[in-house]
Amino acid sequence: MRLLTHRYLALFAMSLCLCLMGCEVRDVPNYMVAPQINHMAFSKAQESQGIMYSPEFNPTMVDRDKVDGGIIKLAHGNGRTLLLPPEGTIPRGFQPLHYPVNEAVAKKMGKVDDKGKADLVAVATAQALKAGDELVNPFKPDDETMTRGKEVFNTFCAPCHGKTGAGDGLVAKRGVGMPGYPLTTKGAKPHDYKDGHIFHIISYGRGNMGSYASQINAADRWKAILWLRKLQSTQGAK
């Protein structure tokens, strides 16, 4: 009984402390941990009220006109609030590939049917051939390049094409409706593809294969192609 009484007294004392803590005087500044920071800058409204413990770390923003977030203000007169980069600029580290595959190019090439539908497969084939004629692999097959090329190939290409390029990757073996596409076996079409041709296929995709442009940067694409050439020379020469 005495223990229970002590518990009630302790609970009452704690409740009383909480109540007293809420009875502080609102017009008196509280303790300042870093007064040199708290007195950096204050608005005129705060100074007139004698409130000196509400700092403004960026007074130029505090004094700006208010903006209604529900109203769109056309900052540049063209419906945009952000400016576009100047025409022709590219992001840092990005290497553009000037062999696009889209409807505009299809119309320019005349690769559309009677209903005006673009034949993007024909466009991709033509652009890949053009890239093969005009692009040259900027890397040499040194040890560092080949090591990186092998890593990229085994990571992104081997799941479908297999680590030896024989078209026996796990996706080809177990995927429904995903036939294997050999890259290195004797008679495989990629033997005849130039480096730029393969680079275009990696960038834009072909058939069941999607684009890997966002997964593999341009330098790694070229390095993976060099590793593929080594596999072709050892796994299934023509």
What is the DSSP secondary-structure string of 130-176?
A: HHHHH--------HHHHHHHHHHIIIIIHHHH-TTSSS--HHHHHST
Handedness of CA 144, 146, 150, 153 (dihedral sign): positive
Choose the weakest-confidence range: 2-11, 72-81, 100-109, 112-121.
Answer: 72-81
Q: What is the pLDDT of residue 57?
A: 55
Q: What is the pLDDT of residues 36-70, one digit of tens each?
A: 555 555 455 545 554 444 455 555 655 666 655 55
Vertex 149, ends 145 and 155: CA angle to 5°?
Answer: 150
Helix (H, G, I), strand (E, B) or coil at 70: coil
Q: What is the pLDDT of residues 168-209, one digit of tens each?
A: 999 888 876 677 789 999 889 999 999 999 999 999 999 889
Q: What is the pLDDT of residues 124-137, one digit of tens each?
A: 999 999 999 999 99
Boundaries of every domain in the chain: 143-235
Q: What is the pLDDT of residue 90?
A: 83
More confident: 57 or 226: 226
Q: What is the mean pLDDT of residues 139-168?
A: 96
Q: How far does CA 71 lie from the centroid of its chain?
A: 30
CA distances from 68 to 61, 65, 73, 166, 230 (A): 15, 10, 9, 62, 62
Helix (H, G, I), strand (E, B) or coil at 8: helix
CATH superfamily of the 143-235 domain? Cytochrome c-like domain (1.10.760.10)
Q: What pTM was computed for the model?
A: 0.63
Q: Which pair of structure tokens corresponds to residue 99?
A: 């062999």
Percent of the chain with pLDDT over 90: 45
More confident: 219 or 235: 219
More confident: 113 or 84: 113
Q: How far apart are CA 164 and CA 151, in angstroms?
A: 13
Tell me the average pLDDT of the chain: 80
Q: What is the pLDDT of residue 34?
A: 55
What is the CB-side half-sphere exposure of residue 203 using CA atoms within 13 A?
Answer: 25
